[in-house]
Amino acid sequence: MEAIGKYKYIEFYATRNDTIWLSMDIKEMNAQIFGGIVVFGLLAIYLVNLGSALVLFQQLRRQQAQMSESTYKSHTSVLYMLVSQNMYPFLVMMLPVCYTIFAFASDSSFLLASSFYKHVASCGLMIYPAMSCLVSILVMKPYREYVKRKLYGWKVRSVVTTEGNSKQGNLW
């Protein structure tokens, strides 16, 4: 994609109030170290989180025999929710950072000037604060059923349990 008209020149962006500049010479060692720390630091954080989730999942499976089915399902859904909430920041932050570093390293200004890149990065960051709540609603069955009931008036069938002294009731 080629910029046309006034968008072709950097002066257009320099005079705008909403422009954020990141300038570094990627051929300098300091810039390469900075890029490596950012990329590998973020990767390390997400790999540790993913590894911890796998360990938790294995421990949950080992303890499954001592848990009731509903307790196991609720623990599993919370674990899925945590993993899902961990994956979204990876997609929103890590992929644009890697893309930007690649664009700087390859000296390809058209990669950074593409409107697709700008829109994807902007939209991902704009909805980032809401994603934790949305993931909770999508993954956790009681939340999901409550939203369906309130938004669409769907009736959620009641489930009768015979375990312990659990009571059927409205969560809200």
Instruction: Dump pLDDT digits (tens) for 120-166.
Output: 777 877 888 888 888 888 888 888 888 888 888 766 566 666 665 55
Nearest to 142 by CA among 123, 121, 104, 170: 170
* Residue 27 one-letter amino acid: K
Cα distances from 125 to residues 46, 57, 138, in angstroms, run 18, 29, 20
Higher pLDDT, 167 or 57: 57
Is there a domain that residue 82 lies in? yes
- The label of the residue with tokens 């920041």 reads 89
Is there a domain that residue 162 lies in? no
Q: What are residue 35's phi and psi, to 5 degrees?
A: -60, -40
Is there a domain that residue 117 lies in? yes
Nearest to 105 by CA among 23, 26, 21: 26
The number of distinct structural domains making up the chain is 1
Band the pLDDT of 60: cuts 50, 70, 90: very high
Q: What are residue 24's phi and psi, to 5 degrees?
A: -155, 150
Is 3 a residue whose pLDDT tops 80?
no
Structural domain boundaries, residue 62: 5-152
Is there a domain that residue 159 lies in? no
Is there a domain that residue 80 lies in? yes
Average pLDDT over residues 9-37: 74
Is there a domain that residue 137 lies in? yes
- pTM for the whole structure: 0.57
Is there a domain that residue 160 lies in? no
Is 111 a residue whose pLDDT tops 80?
no
